[in-house]
Every structure is written in structure tokens, then in C-alpha cells.
């Protein structure tokens, strides 16, 4: 059995929002580091809690592997002395020489090293390579300099290999490795001696630290559900909040608190958002989903009576603020808030939010759309959104309901920011989807039109996310988002609206926006729906203008093609398509040129018959495409398609062209497969 390496970087509190990603990045980064040193190992696992990032490497062999490196020497025409020198320098003989492209080569094995001797360098490389979203440096008194970057100051490094401590000084953070760690900050803060991973895991749990992130998360979920059930309640599930509280505590203690009855008059969204954002409390509901005057909270220590009252008191203060803002906002109409939007900057080069509303009006059709657009951004001026930016749209919908606006309009205002991300749903109504589309396409036209584009991983204006939302709207919304217009019409109309407001955009804005959307469509299909990249490219290029997709048709076509590629006979269709497309090239055949042509060979007669059957019905069955493909391949093997007789040649090309056209329309452009 090979050795086990246990490495723990013990630090100040790691932000909860960074921990889940760190689990993945740590494994990838340390694996890359070990590969760079030619280390041989079986697997790497990672663990994270608020004060530690831990790596477990199993099967780490005591020596690094030797690699064969092919070294080039002198040319075959070089002097014998040069060849002898090359051989001596590599400790090789004439029998080891290889002749490749008029040069001599020898295969040389690289030197191997003791793995234990490299662990210190591996730790240093890992610290400098770990891609924290945010990191910091701190002052090292013994060196009089700043440390390497890490998420928070490192206080201790546990390192045990094969059951014995590794004693190295990690200069980049000014710490000598050791064989001990520390338990819970308050419940068991003392040092704990460690010999191996099992010992480490058991002793930490005894010291009130749950090492396994998922185990801790599931424990919180289970305990919260159990506590709520004791009151006859349910916990409103919140995946993000569960992740966050799991990252805030080393050992979770779950409690139920009480909300003052006077705050229960607030909208449920205000209550739950205030509890979640400011206090990290879970919302509890009655079985009918109505919010209950209780909340769930996770703490890092057992709750005392004083602590419980403190948790309630802090929440009362937060909800008192929310109640005050809510009351103040209701004294002003949404129309009055909307009139102040000229004071809100949309973008320094693109004008105010009021100008954005005017542009959205220019592409709207109905009275309901104009009313929804006029009010959809009004809540940006409310005190409630000032306190809880997460409630944009939601508060507008609530206030619209108080003003007795129609249910459809309230829902449209509430949902017009959807979809907020790749996993979010589209608005539930066509009106909401149209307002969402107007809002997002205006963002894309304006920002891309003035030359703002994402670069690498940087996308400060979230243009990729906005474009992905537009693609989801075009693919998934009920009804026609575009109504009777084309995508180009909306882009051109908005471009004109910007120009009328004194903001000239790039002359190629139409093509820039549509190309950007097509790239997001590919991402949506490949990453979101797990459709093969070759399938998506085949579908996109099956349209006459790939940048003017019918997105609803394209996504359904991609789903269908993704299934077809797994069916028997697909290889036959693909081969026939590529062969036929290669023969016809750019040739265009007018059907009028093919009248009264008689085929005198059985192969083309069969092609003609199968094509007639293929095109005889409204629905094209894949089995018929397979039959036509087989006939095409057989004819290509036995018939001179470029027949000397121009009439026959044109007829041959017409049948091949028709086959290619049918397959492209029904399946996709298979030249990309």
C-alpha cells in the first residue's frame, strides 16, 4: 500500500461563498502541482470548513516517476566527433541512436526524486497557484516582507506523509509545517496531534468540527426540517442560503426563533429577504405555504436564552426598518417614482433610465406593454429597493398590486428581470416575457453598440448572462416573443432610438448583437442542455443565415438531432450527405431544368423513387431518410454523376441537391459532424 499525504492549511475564516468552489479548485490545483513534479498518486480529495482547507492524497508513491525524453543531436551528416560527444553527454552508445528526419536522436530517462523531499516545494506551488476569487497578503515579521497571496492569513500548516510529520519551512507564508491542528474556536480551541487522515477526521469531529462540507450541509438541512416539524411547519428551501450557513459554522447548532406578530403584515417577500440577506435566517411556513411567525437559524455554538433573545432583537430592528420603508413607499405612487427615473443613470454613455424606458416604448405594441414598461423600473427609486436591491421588480409588482393594477401587469413587473441566470425560469406570462426581452435586448444593443464587450473572464456588465437570458426567452417562452417582427427589426429600431437620443452606435450593431446571441445559443445548448457541440454547429449552420436563427426552431431541431445521432442508420445518412454535398459543391439547379428527364440506370431510378417517397408527406420519417441515403451511396459508387450528357448531369445534381436540402432542413448540416 502506497503512502498517504495529509495537508491542512489552517487560516482565519474563509468566506462562505468561496468554500464550495475551493473544494473543486483545490483538487485541480494540487493535482497539477503533483503532475509538474512527476509524482505518482491514486486520488486527491479536498475538505473545507471556515478555518481550514484540507487535502488528502492517497496512493502517493515514495519516488517520482521517470519519463522518457527524446533529445535531438547532430545531423546524420555531422562529424563523427560531434556524434561521439552527443552520446557521451547522454551516457548512450551507437546502438541507442535513432535517425529521424536527417537528425540523430536518443531516448533519455529523466531522474527520479524522493517524494518527501519535494513536498515543501509542492506546498509552496499550491499556495501560489490556488485561484481564490479574492485573496490577500499579510506582513511576515520574521522576514520583514509580505506573504504570498491566500484567501485569509494562514496560521498553521499540518503536513503528514506516510504517518510521519513533514518538517519544512514554507517561506512564502513564514510557517514551518507541523503535525497538529486545532478544534472549534470556542468549544475546543486547543492543539490536536495528528498521525493520519482517519485520526484527523475523528479527532476534529470530537473537537466540534465537521470536516465534510456535504455532511455538514445535509445535517443542517435535516435538523432544520426536524425543528420546523416540531412546530407543525415547513422550511422554505433555499439552496444558496444552505450553502452559506454551512460555510459559516464549524459545527452547526440549529434553533427556531420568533417573529413579532406586528411584522407579519409585511409582504412575505420582504420578510424572507430581510431575514435571509441580513441575518442568514431561514423562512418557515405553514403547510399551505403561508409564511409563519417563526424562523430557523444556525449558530456556531449552542444557543443560550440570552443568545436567543439577541437573535430575536436583531431581527426586530431589521424588520422595523423594513416596515418603515414599506410604509413610506406606499405614500408615493409608482407613477411618481417613475417620473424621477431621469435622475437614475443607466450608463454614462447611454443616458438615464428614463431614456431607456423611452427606447423600450419604441419597440412595444400594446397598451398593456406600454403601461408595464412605464412602471417596471419605478421601484428603483423606492426606499425598499434601496435597502434590499435583491427585491428589484418584486417590490414593483407588490406596489402595482396595491395600486390595483391588473394581475397580469403586476406579474410582468415582478418577473421582468427573469431569467436571472442559466437555471432560472422565464416569466410565466407573454407580457412578462416581452418586457424582459425589451429590457435585455436594449442592454445588448446599447452596450455592444458602443464597443463594450466581455474580455476573457471579465464581464462587468454581465453581457454574457444577459444574452443567455435573451436566448432562453426566445427558445422557451410561450407565444411569440418577437410577435410579427424579426430580431433585426428590434435591433435596428433600438439603434435608431439611441441615435435620436444623441447616442450613435456602431454601424454593424445588428450583426454584432446577433453574432453575440448565436454564441450564447451554443453555450445554452451545449452546457445547459448537454447537446453535443458538433450537433449544435450542424444545426446553426443549417440555417441560410446562421446569425438570423429562429431560436425556437433551432433548439427543437438540436434536441431532435441529438437523439437521431444515436440511432442506427445515422452513419449512413451522414456519409451520404457529405458525399452528395461534396459532389454538388456550389452548383444550383433550377427544377425547371429537370423536366422530362428519363433515368436509364437502375441506381438513379432508385434514388429518384426514394426521393419521391421521402418528399411525399408533410412529415419526413427518419427511416425514409435512411433509405434515400443508402440509394445515394449506392448510386455514387456506380454512376458517373457528372455525366457527359448535360441533361442527365443536371438531373443527377438536382436529386443530390434535393437530398442535401431535405437532410439539412430536417436534421442539420452534417458536414459539421
- Measured in whole angstroms, the distance separating CA 57 from the mean position of its chain's CA atoms is 28
Degrees (nearest 5) of the Cα angle 264, 303, 191? 145
pTM: 0.81
pLDDT digits (tens, 9 = 90+) for 225-262: 999 999 999 999 899 999 999 999 999 999 999 999 99
Query: In the predicted model, is pLDDT for residue 158 greater than 80?
Result: yes
Degrees (nearest 5) of the Cα angle 179, 120, 197? 35
Q: Which residues of 520-541 are buried (b: 16+ CB within 10 A; e: fewer)?
A: bbbebbbeeeebeebbbbbbbe
pLDDT digits (tens, 9 = 90+) for 269-285: 999 999 999 899 999 99
Half-sphere exposure of 44 (CA within 13 A, CB side): 20
pLDDT digits (tens, 9 = 90+) for 525-557: 999 999 999 999 999 999 988 888 889 999 999
In 61-174, which ranges are E strands?
68-75, 98-100, 103-109, 139-140, 145-146, 154-161, 164-165, 169-170
Strand partners, 176: 169
Out of 1.20.950, 1.10.3470, 3.30.530, 3.30.70, which CATH number does the structure's domain 3-63+114-206 have?
3.30.70
Query: In the predicted model, is pLDDT for residue 342 greater than 80?
Result: yes
How high is the pLDDT of residue 560?
A: 93
pLDDT digits (tens, 9 = 90+) for 176-187: 999 999 999 999
pLDDT interval class at 411 (50, 70, 90): very high
CB 322 within 8 A of CB 387: yes
Q: Which of 410, 414, 408 is CA-nearest to residue 430?
A: 408
Write down the residue that cell numbers 454581465 correspond to: 462
Number of other residues whose CB lies within 10 A of the CB of residue 195? 14
Across residues 108-136, what is the average pLDDT?
93
Instruction: Spell out the residues 6+ positions from residue 126 whose beta carbon is closer than 8 angstroms to its own.
Output: 7, 29, 30, 33, 55
Which secondary-structure segment (H or E) carries 292?
strand 291-299
Degrees (nearest 5) of the Cα angle 255, 261, 267? 95
CA distance 98 to 73: 10
Query: In the predicted model, is pLDDT for residue 587 greater than 80?
Result: no
Across residues 199-210, what is the average pLDDT?
96
Query: In the predicted model, is pLDDT for residue 618 greater than 90?
Result: no
CB 374 within 8 A of CB 357: yes
Is 109 or 580 the better-scoring residue by pLDDT?
580
Write down the residue that cell numbers 445515394 correspond to: 632
Across residues 39-45, what is the average pLDDT?
95
Compute φ and ψ for 138, nearest 5 degrees. Answer: -140, 160
- Residues of the chain with pLDDT > 90, as a percent, come to 79
pLDDT digits (tens, 9 = 90+) for 132-153: 999 999 999 999 999 999 999 9
CA distance 515 to 563: 27
pLDDT digits (tens, 9 = 90+) for 78-106: 898 888 898 888 888 888 888 888 898 88
- If DSSP codes are grouped into helix, strand and coil, which group holds residue 173? coil
DSSP symbols for 558-620? HHHHHHHTTSTTHHHHHHHHHHHHHHHTT----GGGGTT----SHHHHHHHHHHHHHTSSSS-
Mean pLDDT of the chain: 93
Q: Which of 15, 38, 41 is CA-nearest to residue 27?
A: 41
CB 643 within 8 A of CB 598: no
Query: In the predicted model, is pLDDT for residue 357 greater than 80?
Result: yes
Strand partners, 3: 60
CA distance 480 to 483: 5
Query: What dihedral angle (degrees, nearest 10) is formed by the CA atoms of 453, 458, 463, 467?
Result: 110
Compute φ and ψ for 55, nearest 5 degrees. Answer: -125, 135
CA distance 24 to 203: 25
How high is the pLDDT of residue 1?
A: 42
Across residues 323-338, what is the average pLDDT?
96
Q: Which of 261, 257, 301 is CA-nearest to residue 280?
A: 257
How high is the pLDDT of residue 4?
A: 95
Write down the residue that cell numbers 452534417 correspond to: 670
CA distance 560 to 554: 10
Number of other residues whose CB lies within 10 A of the CB of residue 313? 9
Query: In the predicted model, is pLDDT for residue 596 greater than 80?
Result: no
CB 118 within 8 A of CB 168: no
Amino acid at each position: 500500500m502506497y503512502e498517504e499525504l495529509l495537508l491542512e492549511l489552517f487560516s482565519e475564516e474563509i468566506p462562505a461563498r468561496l468554500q464550495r468552489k475551493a473544494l473543486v479548485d483545490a483538487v485541480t490545483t494540487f493535482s497539477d502541482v503533483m503532475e509538474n513534479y512527476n509524482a505518482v498518486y491514486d486520488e486527491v480529495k479536498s475538505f473545507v470548513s471556515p478555518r481550514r482547507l484540507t487535502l488528502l492524497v492517497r496512493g502517493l508513491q515514495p519516488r517520482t516517476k521517470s519519463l522518457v525524453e527524446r533529445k535531438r543531436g547532430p545531423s546524420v551528416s555531422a562529424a563523427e566527433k560531434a556524434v561521439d560527444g552527443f552520446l557521451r553527454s547522454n551516457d548512450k552508445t551507437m546502438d541507442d541512436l535513432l535517425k529521424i528526419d536527417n537528425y540523430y536522436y536518443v531516448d533519455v530517462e529523466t531522474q527520479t526524486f524522493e517524494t518527501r523531499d519535494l513536498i515543501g516545494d509542492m506546498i509552496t506551488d499550491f499556495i501560489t497557484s490556488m485561484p481564490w476569487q479574492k485573496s490577500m497578503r499579510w506582513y511576515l515579521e520574521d522576514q520583514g516582507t509580505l506573504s504570498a497571496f491566500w484567501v485569509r492569513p494562514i496560521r498553521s500548516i499540518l503536513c503528514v506523509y506516510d504517518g510521519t510529520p513533514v518538517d519544512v519551512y514554507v517561506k512564502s507564508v513564514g510557517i514551518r509545517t507541523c503535525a497538529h491542528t486545532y478544534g472549534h474556536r470556542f468549544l475546543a480551541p486547543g492543539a490536536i496531534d495528528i498521525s493520519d487522515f482517519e485520526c484527523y477526521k475523528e479527532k476534529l469531529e470530537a473537537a466540534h468540527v465537521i470536516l465534510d462540507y456535504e455532511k455538514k450541509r445535509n445535517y443542517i438541512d435535516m435538523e432544520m426540517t426536524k425543528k420546523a416539524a416540531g412546530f407543525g411547519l415547513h422550511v422554505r428551501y433555499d439552496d444558496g442560503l444552505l450553502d452559506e450557513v454551512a460555510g459559516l459554522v464549524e459545527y452547526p447548532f440549529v434553533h427556531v426563533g420568533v417573529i413579532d406578530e406586528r411584522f407579519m403584515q409585511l409582504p412575505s417577500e420582504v420578510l424572507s429577504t430581510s431575514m435571509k440577506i441580513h441575518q442568514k435566517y431561514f423562512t418557515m411556513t405553514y403547510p399551505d405555504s403561508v409564511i409563519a411567525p417563526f424562523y430557523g437559524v444556525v449558530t456556531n455554538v449552542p444557543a443560550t436564552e440570552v443568545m436567543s433573545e439577541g437573535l430575536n432583537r436583531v431581527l426586530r430592528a431589521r424588520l422595523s426598518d423594513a416596515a418603515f420603508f414599506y410604509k413610506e413607499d406606499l405614500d408615493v405612487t409608482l407613477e411618481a417614482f417613475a417620473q424621477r427615473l431621469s435622475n437614475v443613470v443607466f450608463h454614462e454613455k447611454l443616458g438615464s433610465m428614463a431614456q431607456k424606458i423611452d427606447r423600450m416604448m419604441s419597440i412595444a405594441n400594446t397598451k398593456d406593454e406600454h403601461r408595464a414598461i412605464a412602471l417596471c423600473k419605478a421601484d428603483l427609486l423606492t426606499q425598499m429597493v434601496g435597502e434590499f436591491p435583491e427585491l428589484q421588480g418584486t417590490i414593483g409588482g407588490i406596489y402595482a398590486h396595491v395600486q390595483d393594477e391588473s394581475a397580469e401587469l403586476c406579474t410582468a413587473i415582478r418577473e421582468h428581470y427573469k431569467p436571472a441566470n442559466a437555471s432560472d425560469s422565464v416569466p410565466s406570462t407573454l407580457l412578462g416575457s416581452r418586457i424582459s426581452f425589451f429590457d435585455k435586448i436594449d442592454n445588448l444593443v446599447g452596450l455592444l453598440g458602443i464597443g463594450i464587450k466581455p474580455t476573457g473572464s471579465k464581464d462587468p456588465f454581465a453581457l454574457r448572462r444577459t444574452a443567455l437570458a435573451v436566448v432562453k426567452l426566445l427558445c422557451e417562452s410561450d407565444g411569440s416573443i418577437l410577435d410579427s417582427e424579426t430580431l433585426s427589426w428590434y435591433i435596428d429600431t433600438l439603434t435608431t432610438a439611441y441615435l435620436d437620443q444623441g447616442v450613435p452606435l456602431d454601424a454593424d450593431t445588428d450583426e454584432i448583437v446577433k453574432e453575440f446571441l448565436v454564441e450564447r445559443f451554443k453555450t445554452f445548448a451545449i452546457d445547459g442542455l448537454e447537446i453535443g457541440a458538433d450537433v449544435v454547429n450542424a444545426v446553426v449552420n443549417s440555417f441560410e443565415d446562421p446569425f438570423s436563427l429562429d431560436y425556437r426552431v433551432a433548439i427543437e431541431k438540436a434536441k431532435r438531432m441529438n437523439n437521431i445521432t444515436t440511432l442506427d442508420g445515422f452513419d449512413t445518412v451522414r456519409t451520404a450527405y457529405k458525399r452528395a454535398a461534396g459532389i454538388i459543391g456550389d452548383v444550383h439547379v433550377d427544377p425547371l431544368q429537370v423536366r422530362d428527364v428519363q433515368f436509364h440506370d437502375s441506381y438513379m431510378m432508385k434514388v429518384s423513387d426514394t426521393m419521391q417517397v421521402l418528399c411525399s408527406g408533410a412529415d419526413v420519417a427518419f427511416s425514409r431518410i435512411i433509405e434515400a441515403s443508402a440509394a445515394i451511396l449506392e448510386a455514387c459508387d456506380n454512376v458517373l454523376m457528372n455525366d457527359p450528357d448535360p441533361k442527365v448531369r443536371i438531373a443527377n445534381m438536382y436529386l443530390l441537391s434535393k437530398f442535401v436540402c431535405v437532410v439539412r432542413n430536417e436534421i442539420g448540416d452534417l458536414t459539421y459532424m
